[in-house]
């Protein structure tokens, strides 16, 4: 007989069994406490159950099994949504109507124009500041500060 631990046929059940054992242990502890009102014992049992369940869920949601399942379901969901988007776009284009892709494109163009304009305004501000602060500007009797027209 080898010293290796036997392989579990259902490794996915391990966290659940751990949670159940933990819960059973806590429940026994509640049963063994000195006699008390029924509702109090029930409250303690419930608390123990929820604590164990919380712990179990937390462990499960950190497991590779959950994370991979999450990734796969998200990829499938996104692929499905993408397919719907494309079909809608085709349908709308066929009807000569703008789709979300078209409005996105327009938004991108406007944003590009805005960025270029802001960059240009920044450059102009810097140039004006340089001109106002240059020795020539003050020598000509200018204050160096912009005033309202």
Partner 1 sequence: MTATTFPSSVFPTAHVFQQWQDAVQKAFAMPKVMEAVQRVRVGVTPSRAVYHEDNVRLMQYEASLEKRYKTPLLVVFALVNRPYILDLRAGKSVVSHFVNRGFDVYNLDWGVPTPGDRHLAIRDYVLGYLNNAVEHICKRTGSESVNILGYCMGGSLSAMYAALRPKRVKNFISLAAPYDWSSRDSLLCLWTDEKYFNVDRMIEVHGNAPPIWLQTSFLLLKPVQNLMEKYINFYENMEDEKFLDDFFAMETWLNDNIPVAGETFREFVKYCFQQNLLMQGKLELGGERVNLKNLTAPLLNLVAQHDHLVPPSQSTPLNDAVGSSDRKTIHFPAGHIGMAVGGKAHRDLWPAACAWLEERSEVIKS
- Binding pattern to partner 1, positions 9-48, x when CB under 8 A? ---------------x--xx--x---xxxxx-xx--xx--
Q: Which residues, 6+ apart, have CB-to-CB distance to 128 below 8 Å?
A: 146
CB of 7 to partner 1, least distance (A): 26
Binding to partner 1 by residue 107, rule CB under 8 A?
A: yes
Q: How far, in Å, CA of 76 to CA of 68, rounded? A: 12
DSSP state of 13: G
CB of 138 to partner 1, least distance (A): 26
Q: Which residues, 6+ apart, have CB-to-CB distance to 30 below 8 Å?
A: 41, 44, 45, 48
From the list 33, 30, 8, the residue with the least C-alpha distance to 18 is 8
Binding to partner 1 by residue 73, rule CB under 8 A?
A: no
**Interface ranges with partner 1 (CB under 8 A):** 24, 27-28, 31, 35-39, 41-42, 45-46, 50, 53-54, 57-58, 61-62, 67-68, 70-71, 74-75, 78, 81-82, 85, 100, 103-104, 107-108, 111
């Amino acid at each position: 007989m080898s010293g290796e631990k036997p392989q579990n046929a259902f490794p996915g059940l391990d966290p659940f069994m751990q949670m159940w054992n933990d819960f059973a242990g806590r429940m026994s502890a509640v049963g063994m406490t000195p006699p008390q009102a029924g509702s109090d014992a029930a409250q303690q049992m419930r608390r123990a159950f929820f604590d164990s369940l919380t712990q179990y869920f937390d462990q499960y949601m950190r497991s590779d099994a959950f994370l991979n399942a999450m990734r796969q379901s998200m990829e499938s969901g996104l692929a499905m949504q993408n397919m719907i988007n494309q079909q809608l776009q085709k349908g709308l284009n066929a009807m000569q109507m703008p789709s979300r892709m078209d409005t996105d494109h327009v938004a991108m163009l406007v944003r590009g124009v805005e960025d270029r304009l802001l960059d240009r305004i920044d450059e102009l501000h810097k140039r004006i500041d340089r001109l106002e602060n240059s020795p020539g500007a003050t020598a000509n009797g200018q204050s160096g500060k912009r005033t309202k027209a």
